[in-house]
Structure 1
Amino acid sequence: MPRLILKCPYLKGGTEKAAAHLSNLVKYTATRDGVEKLTEKNRNLPSTAKQADLIEQIIKEFPGTKNLFEYEDYIKNKTIENASECISIALEQNLDKIGQRKNYVDYIANRPRVEKMGTHGLFTGGDDVIVLSRVANEVANHTGNVWTPIISLRREDAICSGYDGAEAWHNMLSYFAPQIAESMKIPIRNFRWYAAFHNESHHPHIHMICYSVNPADGYLTKKGIEKMKSGLMKNIFKNEMQIIYEEQSQRRDRLKAESRETMLKLISEMKSGVIQNPKIEELLLSLSERLKLTNGKRVYGYLQPNVKAIVDEVIDELSKEEAVTKAYELWYEMREEVLHSYMDELPERLPISKQKEFKSIKNMIVAEADKIAKGELIFEECEIAEPEYIDSFAETESSEIIESSEIAEFELPDDEITDDDIECLDVYVKWTDEYKQAREYLFGTEETAQDFEKALELFLSEAENGNVLAMHDLGRIYANGLGVESDNDKAHKYYAKALSGFEQVESEKAWKYTEYRIGKMFAQGLGTEQDYETAAQWFELSAEKKYKYAQYSLGGLYYRGQGVELDFQTAFSLYLKSAEQSFPYADYEVAKMYRDGVGIEKDADKSNNHFKKAFKGFEALESSSHDDKLQYRLGWMLQNGIGTQKDIERAKEYFEKSVKMGNVFAGYSLAKLILAEQNPDQEEFKSAIQYLQKAAANENERCKPIRALSQYALGKIYLEGKYIPKDINKAIVYLTQSAEQKNEWAAYRLGKLYLLGNDVPKDIEKALTYLTKSAVLGNQFAQYILGKLYLLGKDVPKDKELAIKWLTLSAEHGNEYAKFLLDNMDKFREPSVALGISRMMYHMGRMFENNVPQTAKTAIGFKVDSKLMKKMREKKVGQGYKSDEQRMNL
């Protein structure tokens, strides 16, 4: 593993008193008679007795020398060369004790093997020319402390990381200087630093000079040095550290699997009243009795010392369990592997009860004991993995939800029907100038501002003249409420007129475009009853004429088995034919099938290529059409990094465009992104609520899935009261609406609310109704609660048969607590203590998982506030750029 050595001595301010014997030691080492001159011939000879004596004296005077690379090399191989380098660097790193400031500046700038950047080797941030004499006088006359950090690498590490030259160090230190200033407690505006690179053969190193223009500023603690060293390691060895972090991640995954397996084994061995660890049960019961007599908060920090001692004892007993012991040992190994890269001496290992990273387990133990003390019915919930609809929506591609080939509306095929073909009809399918203008107003272009009112006026005029395309767009306007109130009846009326018009044109002359549009309306149920079989027949007619949109839509029916036999191979063939005609939606489906190995063998390379082609194709189509479904799709791909780099900000931009066109799916996705931010902007948060409310109120049958999810999201927001005042009445309304549309999570939350009776009056009948509804829909937590209720007979009559039924279903979904109750059903009456212990074991496993050293934390959608802007400006000053005041005075 790569290492660096960082020493941070300092030259004290005020009168300097150099130790005479140390000063003489330097002169003796450098000038004594018979000093060894290193040559290729003698450099590998054994070190001399005088060198050994001198190193011994240096170790006595400067014990820290033992931590140097050069000393390590000398101990391993006592040659003249290694001894000479050890003596030189040891004295050099202690010049703060034996030298003078002015001489020190000149020394590090001009000593042998310094890499010069002009007439000397001294550099700082920015490109300003350094006058050596001025810096030397400035440092010599400074009345405050001057720190002289020395950063040393092994030659092989310097070469691998690219830090074997002055330029790389100059660039890195210019960037890193603000962190050095922060570690030294020096305001960045007052911070000054200089450095020089010494290109030693085995251990190249950097000398720095750091101080504040305000002599009163600055102090450096051991923790500050560790922080500097940690930051240097991450900057210099970022590639090597990445490999280490990846290995740690793999270890973490193994740890998670191993801990969980061991935990499940322990749970299965537990018995109510007769468990494998009676000491923990005794302590937990004792703690619960103490809590009954405790007033105030049931939080570890507020407890009396004697009660805290019981909590600590519980942790110590837990840590004796094989699973915990093994996990904690591995956690410490992983932690120390990183610490060793920037700490010379590792801290002593602490028991878990004293380890601050695991302090939340203390409050977990208190909470478990308090529940036992109160006799509460406990619901053991593992990680609730509620599905994110935005993650599955674009993958569904069901035509009932989104008509992804809507782009066909924006272009007619080359064989466009002329007026002569249908001269006997009162209707026509044609892109007139008025129709084009109407669409420009509907979608907006760079030259034309979006104007729903003008679009509606022109569409109405065109529809009265018989333009079937305008009739269809009017249906869309009233369905989505674009500039008008949503009106499903009017939307159906216009869609029916459009369908009739397409059929009339088709009856006069067969045309692949009208065949495709008729098929699409039957598939979507627009202006008619939804009929996949009829839709497939129309798509087949158009696809036979090699119309790419019909090929794509027919492929979708074969993929889903709608109106035709389910046939993945046929679906893939149709998708591929459409993709070969440069239709990005087809490329997207082909990519999915290659990725998942559906209808074709898996091929990751081909999958990625088709995803990329799809994304580029969508961008090209959107730039000319501004279609809301395209915009939604692009936002989703950017959000999830599909076919392109992940880019949340660009995703939000596309979602916002789509929302303006009334796309409720995009509104939901945008709302979820905003709500996922750590501290969402208040205006954005209000917009998110509005998006969800609009989706929740949408009566369009095709929007039913998103309506239920939006209602559930609103219910959670009002129930939790995180960013807005808690409103239990609104929460109940929204959750009830969502549960009525078969949302298992909404029904589950309602069931818990009525069962616990905390925010609403307790109502067992309602609780059972909603929990049963959720359980029937497959929710493992609702199944578990019902099973436990019927098993214990609390609030409901005991019913072992029902208990077994629900617990079995929950256990089949992976609920370990349900499995525990099934395995121990005949062995206890009240499992609270045993389950409390199992929950503590589970929580401790989570602690190990969550406290593995991480490289970075990612925040989504952060905003740059004024304080952060100020800090960024100060950082630039620390990197050598002129301040705002300096630039204004130029």
Structure 2
Amino acid sequence: MPRLILKCPYLRGGTVKASAHLSNLVNYIAARNGVEKLTEKNRNLPSTVKQANLIEQIIKEFPGTKNLFEYEDYIKNKTIENASEFISIALEQNLDKIGQRKNYVDYIANRPRVEKMGTHGLFTGGDDAIVLSRVADEVANHTGNVWTPIISLRREDAIRTGYDRAEVWHNMLSYFAPEIAESMKIPIQNFSWYAAFHNESHHPHIHMICYSVNPADGYLTKKGIERIKSGLVKNIFKNEMQIKYEEQSQRRDQLKAESRETMLKLISEMKSGAIHNPKIEELFLSLSERLKVTNGKRIYGYLQPNVKAIVDEIIDELSKEEAVVKAYELWYEMREEVLHSYMDELPDRLPLSKQKEFKSIKNMIVAEADKIAKGEPTFEEVEIAGPEDIDSFTEMESSELIEGSETTQFELPDNEIADDTDAECHDVYVKWTDEYKKAREYLFGTEEAPQDFEKALEIFLVEAENGNVLAMHDLGRMYADGLGVESDNGKANGYYTEALSGFQQVEAQKVWKYTEYRIGKMFAQGLGTEQDYETAAQWFELSAEKKYKYAQYSLGGLYYRGQGVEQNFQTAFSLYLRSAEQSFPYADYEVAKMYRDGVGTEKDADKSNNHFKKAFRGFEALEKNSHDDKLHYRLGWMLQNGIGTHKDISRANEYFEKSAKMGNLFAGYSLAKLILAEENPNQEELKGAIQYLQKAADNENEICKPIRALAQYVLGKIYLEGKHVPKDINKAIVYLTQSAEQENEWAAYQLGKLYLLGKDVPKETEKAVAYLTKATEQGNQFAQYILGRLYLLGKDVPKDKELAIKWLTMSAEQGNEYAKFFLDNMDKFREPSVALGISRLMYHVGRMFENSVTIDKSSVGLKIDSKLLRKLKAKKVAQGHKQDEYGQGMKL
């Protein structure tokens, strides 16, 4: 496991004088150059008596030095070399106690084996030269505390990670300084730091000096030290920690499986009476009796001490059950595996009743006992599982977003069009004229020419007036998406109608694969005509027969979805593959998906990965020559999800922004989600996110139906929760209703819950059941579960056991374990039962063990929110960095 040692001593305000009984240690440091000279002959000899006595004194004066790497080496092999290494670093790490501030600065900057960055080894953020004497005086005369962190690595770890050079430490600490400042409770604008790298043969290490320009600032707690050390581990060992977290993820999955199996087994045994714990039953009954006469909230924190004691005792009894013992042991093993990377000494293990991460068990016990006290046979979860956060249905929506983008218009580069001089018919023509190409450069923007919708519109209008069908189509797109003009569906449809007629006239004059393809696209999208997949398929077929890769791809999509043709995955795969073989990345992407899922072909993970990578490279190559919003969206989506490339949220964000500026609703929606997922988005970003969602929610284009429903759902949730905007239940109901009408099952599910609970809106059981039924019929397992429970208990609806079993079974088949629990315990839902209460509690405990082990996602790569990034940039500039220095590659 990657490991480093961090010590954070500090020099108190004022002059620190050496204690008399440590004078011989001071002398050792003063004579550092001449002490225990090492040669090849004596370095491996046994340590001397003088060294042994000095080590004994050091350990006595400074017990913490036993945790050093060097002490571990010395204990394993007591040689002159190892003794010398330990004495040196042990004294260095305690200079705050045995030396003076001015001497300390000079020592770490000039001591033997310091890696110099100029005339000495001291460095800080930025490139300005450091005047050593000035820094020494500054530190010596500072009236506040000065922290002197020491970061030590094993030599093999330093070499492997590249941290055996001062320059690498300089870059990392420049980046990491804001987190050190925050951990020391020092405002970033007041934080000063210096460091020097000592390239020791066994364990290279860094000495730092940290303080605030305001002497009143700053204090460092044990938690702060742990935070600094954890951050250093994540930065220095980021690649290895990613592997470790992947291993932890596998261990977590194993724990989930084992925990679920043992917990459900225990519940089954309790049902059958194989396990009988009279002590727990007695305690449950005692607690329920106490709750009958308890006023106020039935929450653990509000209970009297004697009642809390009963709850704790129940947990202690539950902790004795074999299943819980095993699950808790596994949980602790995984937790300590990561803690060990940045904690020298692991904290003592706590009993389950004292473990904060499982404190909700206490409220579960109180809730179950309260049901018994009130005679309630119901089973109400603390939270009904479901997509309660904006990102929880990514897998569902990603397919729809990508599918939606496939039906948008692909614009072709000039070299794809052959014989365009003949592509004209009297008053209309299809030509990539110089003026048309210039207009497209203004429309999309290039490295040389910034985006300018006004100029693009002006040239397109002239080109369209001259009869260029391509310009007519692009004018339709500009009015449809509101690019530089007010969105106007009437004008957009007018231009689209002219464009379709123009393509057809040119095609009638001369058969051409390009016009056949474009006509097919317009029928597929319903642009300038009624949407007609059958007619679109016929045009695509004509073009595909001429081996036109764009038509092959589009026709493959129709066969894949069964639109206008009989669904046939094998035919779709064949068409996609033929298109991919002509270096069309969109086709590569679809081939990759079909290899991955085994649709239309045999599953082949290697071929799938190769085609995903080929698709990503192809999209990047296309993007260099064509700043198309569809390309930007695709690249952003693949980077966001790590498809065909490494996941990179920062680059994904950039591509989504470019695409969204071109009116791409899919990109705008994705960008809004990234902003809303930030820890601390600013108001300007939030305003932009809402606008992107609003634009998608209001778009009436049939192509955008999937994104419209999703945007309406997200807006509904935002106004319902009031997290990023003032809570507005009326707006929430409007958006959720609109989304449900677009067949969004999650919106229907959400509305059903709202009307059933009757908290934010008046309770309307009939309306609730109608929405839940709508979601249920679309396969929503959570709606199925709620309806099944309602019909089983006869609460709010007439009792119907047969219907209850139907819905609960459908939900359980999709993996809903609450539904499975109801089916397994159906006969017990008659009267209050202590045994049932304990069964429910054990089930809850099992669920908690499944969900309590989480991966620290922020540690996989360097990831900081926008607020911290702005803070970091401000500090870097203040320290002398250039505006963009060391900022590239940081992930937002």
Give the TM-score band, short-chain normalised. Answer: 0.7 to 0.9
Aligned to 1:393: 400
C-alpha change, 1:650 and 1:236, in structure 2 (3 Å) is closer
Counterparts of 1:609 and 1:775 in 2: how far apart (Å)?
Answer: 38
TM value normalised by structure 2: 0.80
1:654 to 636, 654, 658: 658
Aligned to 2:407: 403
Structure 2: stretches of 5+ with no match in the other structure: 884-892
C-alpha change, 1:115 and 1:817, in structure 2 (3 Å) is closer
Aligned to 2:753: 752
Moved more, 676-685 or 764-773: 676-685
C-alpha change, 1:763 and 1:276, in structure 2 (3 Å) is farther
Indicate the SS of the match to 1:407.
coil
- Deviation of 1:697 after TM superposition, in Å, equals 4.6
Moved more, 580-589 or 760-769: 580-589
- Deviation of 1:813 after TM superposition, in Å, equals 0.9
Counterparts of 1:759 and 1:469 in 2: how far apart (Å)?
Answer: 52
Q: Is the 8 A contact 1:394 1:636 kept in 2?
A: no
- Deviation of 1:848 after TM superposition, in Å, equals 2.3
Q: Deviations over 1:74-99 (max 9, x none)?
A: 33333444445545555555555555
C-alpha change, 1:619 and 1:37, in structure 2 (3 Å) is closer
C-alpha change, 1:386 and 1:68, in structure 2 (3 Å) is closer
Moved more, 279-288 or 771-780: 279-288
Counterparts of 2:812 and 2:460 in 1: how far apart (Å)?
Answer: 60
Aligned to 2:256: 256
Aligned to 2:544: 543
Q: Is the 8 A contact 1:408 1:549 kept in 2?
A: no
Aligned to 1:818: 819
Moved more, 97-106 or 239-248: 97-106
Indicate the SS of the match to 1:346.
coil
- The one-letter code matched in structure 2 to 1:329 is E
Counterparts of 2:660 and 2:801 in 1: how far apart (Å)?
Answer: 53
Matched, 1:332 2:316: no
Counterparts of 1:147 and 1:105 in 2: how far apart (Å)?
Answer: 12
- The one-letter code matched in structure 2 to 1:654 is K
Matched, 1:840 2:841: no
Moved more, 100-109 or 387-396: 100-109
Moved more, 121-130 or 822-831: 121-130
Indicate the SS of the match to 2:271.
coil
Aligned to 1:887: none
1:606 to 588, 591, 610: 610
- Deviation of 1:653 after TM superposition, in Å, equals 1.7
Aligned to 2:890: none
Q: Is the 8 A contact 2:122 2:196 kept in 1?
A: yes
- Deviation of 1:751 after TM superposition, in Å, equals 2.4
Aligned to 2:306: 306
- Deviation of 1:849 after TM superposition, in Å, equals 1.9
- Deviation of 1:814 after TM superposition, in Å, equals 0.9
Q: Deviations over 1:716-742 (max 9, x none)?
A: 333333333434344334433433443
1:378 to 380, 396, 401: 380
- Deviation of 1:544 after TM superposition, in Å, equals 2.8
Alignment of 1:584-663 (within 5 A): 584-599=585-600, 602=604, 603-604=607-608, 606-616=610-620, 618-620=622-624, 622-623=626-627, 629=630, 632-642=633-643, 645-646=648-649, 647-659=651-663
Aligned to 1:319: 319
Counterparts of 2:286 and 2:157 in 1: how far apart (Å)?
Answer: 56
Aligned to 1:726: 727
Counterparts of 2:129 and 2:685 in 1: how far apart (Å)?
Answer: 48
Counterparts of 2:656 and 2:17 in 1: how far apart (Å)?
Answer: 64
- Deviation of 1:578 after TM superposition, in Å, equals 3.7
- The one-letter code matched in structure 2 to 1:805 is K
- Deviation of 1:803 after TM superposition, in Å, equals 1.8
Aligned to 2:740: 739
Aligned to 2:74: 74
Q: Is the 8 A contact 1:178 1:188 kept in 2?
A: yes
Indicate the SS of the match to 1:850.
coil
Moved more, 668-677 or 753-762: 668-677
Counterparts of 2:211 and 2:438 in 1: how far apart (Å)?
Answer: 69
Aligned to 1:806: 807
Counterparts of 1:350 and 1:511 in 2: how far apart (Å)?
Answer: 76
Structure 1: stretches of 5+ with no match in the other structure: 883-890
- The one-letter code matched in structure 2 to 1:316 is D
Counterparts of 1:683 and 1:743 in 2: how far apart (Å)?
Answer: 29
Indicate the SS of the match to 1:826.
helix
Counterparts of 1:140 and 1:442 in 2: how far apart (Å)?
Answer: 61
Counterparts of 1:59 and 1:437 in 2: how far apart (Å)?
Answer: 78
- Deviation of 1:801 after TM superposition, in Å, equals 1.7
C-alpha change, 1:143 and 1:493, in structure 2 (3 Å) is closer
Q: State the superposition RMSD in angstroms.
A: 4.8
Aligned to 2:888: none
C-alpha change, 1:739 and 1:830, in structure 2 (3 Å) is farther
Alignment of 1:400-799 (within 5 A): 403-407=407-411, 413-416=417-420, 418=422, 428-431=428-431, 436=436, 443=443, 446=449, 449-451=452-454, 458=461, 462=465, 483=485, 502-503=503-504, 506-525=507-526, 531-564=532-565, 566-581=567-582, 583-599=584-600, 602=604, 603-604=607-608, 606-616=610-620, 618-620=622-624, 622-623=626-627, 629=630, 632-642=633-643, 645-646=648-649, 647-659=651-663, 664-682=665-683, 684-686=685-687, 688-799=689-800
Q: Deviations over 1:620-665 (max 9, x none)?
A: 5643xx5x65555455445445456542432332342332xxx554
User: How many percent identity over aligned positions?
Assistant: 73
- The one-letter code matched in structure 1 to 2:658 is Y
- Deviation of 1:430 after TM superposition, in Å, equals 3.9
Q: Is the 8 A contact 1:493 1:527 kept in 2?
A: yes
- The one-letter code matched in structure 2 to 1:515 is E
C-alpha change, 1:570 and 1:44, in structure 2 (3 Å) is same
Aligned to 2:887: none
Moved more, 496-505 or 744-753: 496-505
Counterparts of 2:451 and 2:70 in 1: how far apart (Å)?
Answer: 73
Q: Is the 8 A contact 1:271 1:828 kept in 2?
A: no
Q: Is the 8 A contact 1:405 1:549 kept in 2?
A: no
- The one-letter code matched in structure 2 to 1:649 is N
Moved more, 173-182 or 340-349: 173-182
Moved more, 763-772 or 62-71: 62-71
- Deviation of 1:792 after TM superposition, in Å, equals 1.9
Indicate the SS of the match to 2:411.
helix
Q: Is the 8 A contact 2:123 2:130 kept in 1?
A: yes
Counterparts of 1:742 and 1:801 in 2: how far apart (Å)?
Answer: 27
Q: Is the 8 A contact 1:183 1:224 kept in 2?
A: yes
C-alpha change, 1:654 and 1:310, in structure 2 (3 Å) is farther
C-alpha change, 1:350 and 1:396, in structure 2 (3 Å) is same
- The one-letter code matched in structure 2 to 1:378 is E
Counterparts of 1:36 and 1:110 in 2: how far apart (Å)?
Answer: 19
Q: Is the 8 A contact 2:461 2:475 kept in 1?
A: no
Alignment of 1:865-884 (within 5 A): 869=870, 872-874=873-875
C-alpha change, 1:276 and 1:163, in structure 2 (3 Å) is same
- The one-letter code matched in structure 2 to 1:586 is A
Counterparts of 1:687 and 1:216 in 2: how far apart (Å)?
Answer: 40
C-alpha change, 1:718 and 1:788, in structure 2 (3 Å) is same
Q: Is the 8 A contact 1:718 1:725 kept in 2?
A: yes
Counterparts of 2:213 and 2:685 in 1: how far apart (Å)?
Answer: 44
Q: Deviations over 1:423-453 (max 9, x none)?
A: 6xxx644449899499769947658843599
Counterparts of 1:776 and 1:211 in 2: how far apart (Å)?
Answer: 63
Aligned to 2:347: 347
TM value normalised by structure 1: 0.81
Moved more, 291-300 or 249-258: 291-300
